Structure 1
């Protein structure tokens, strides 16, 4: 009789543990699963190396300022690993000057792949990599030209989820843009080769 009771007790304990663990695992998987929409705001800095035809370097022209915009993405969790895609649209208020030359950074948009690890029920650590396009305007010696620059963006972040599907995140990214030639009236072409660094705080809702 004692053996039967002991066996029944072990079975009951095992079933109770499975019931307790099951929702916890499912909740961890569902916390970061699905489509989300959010906004982010932060600070971006653009460092540039400019080279004029003839090999004249014009280092020192950089821009920094507030960066804000929208994020839209989706993702899923499998065995604690997160994978998803995200699009962003940003408005930049970054500008700078060097001597008589000016640099203004306007809108920016792109798409990233995100890979991460759910380290607790409500915390996700992730890395990202993708493509970004940014419009810049350079005023050199009284003449102005603007170009859309394409770059490779990568970074990392941490995301905190709440029980009501709201999430918060802190993210750092760096973008390495391809060099572009800017043309000016009565001036030699200028090759611009920028890189950008950005910190963003984000808030959003996961559907």
Structure 2
């Protein structure tokens, strides 16, 4: 008689790897409740600089790699999701630059605080969500006659997708855009108006309680 046990074991193992995780009835709301997480980020910052008196100005946006932590609370009602989330992120150099006449300046983003509301739709163990809220980043100027720093507030909005690997662990991919308040900085006889913006791509892992 042929021994089918090894073949059956191999098929069962392959099926367990490729199959979608199925949660018990008591675990059907994986996005409900409090959570904390960590993230890797890619930032595309722009200075949006203009100068007065009027002069031709050259802008050069730069990408930055960073990271941060976040936490929040979600309420999952069947397939509808509502949540509130806060986060703290560290941004890295290089900074976006601007140049005019003999001035070569830059705008460095140091750290960011976010607080956002999330609204989404849950399909099985996948959450599709949009978000919007307040963001606040510390900026430093570089290359000017007198460099200064300031925290600028703004509005962040975007969306993402989150996948529950287990009832206690999920991963997410997210894109947001932030637009900040304008900032006038004096440099010699010139006034530079900075109008920063940011595109942020985020990969995160969350632990649910």
Deviations 1:136-190 (A, max 9, x none): 1112444312221111100110001122501100000000111111234x34331
* Higher helix proportion: 1
Deviations 1:58-94 (A, max 9, x none): 3414332112100010011113100000001000003
Farther off after superposition, 97-106 or 68-77: 97-106
Cα distance, 1:148–1:58 mapped onto 2, change above 3 Å: farther
Question: Which residue matches 2:155?
Answer: 152
Q: Is the 8 A contact 1:104 1:137 kept in 2?
A: yes
Question: Which residue matches 2:206?
Answer: 204
Question: Which residue matches 1:3?
Answer: none
Give the count of matched residue pairs: 181
Question: Which residue matches 1:27?
Answer: 27
Q: Is the 8 A contact 2:30 2:167 kept in 1?
A: no
Q: For 1:31 and 1:195, locate their aligned partners in 2 and report how far apart those are by CA, in whole Å.
A: 34
Supply the RMSD in Å over aligned alpha carbons: 1.8
* Higher strand proportion: 1
Q: Is the 8 A contact 1:67 1:94 kept in 2?
A: no
Stretches of structure 1 that go unaligned for 5 or more consecutive residues are 1-22
Cα distance, 1:58–1:149 mapped onto 2, change above 3 Å: farther
TM-score, length basis structure 1? 0.81
Superposed counterparts of 1:6-155, under 5 Å: 24=25, 27-28=27-28, 30-56=29-55, 58-96=57-95, 97-99=97-99, 100-120=104-124, 122-155=125-158
Cα distance, 1:164–1:79 mapped onto 2, change above 3 Å: closer
TM-score, length basis structure 2? 0.80
Question: Which residue matches 1:11?
Answer: none
Secondary structure, in 3 states, of the residue corresponding to 2:193?
strand
Question: Which residue matches 1:178?
Answer: 181
Cα distance, 1:62–1:145 mapped onto 2, change above 3 Å: farther
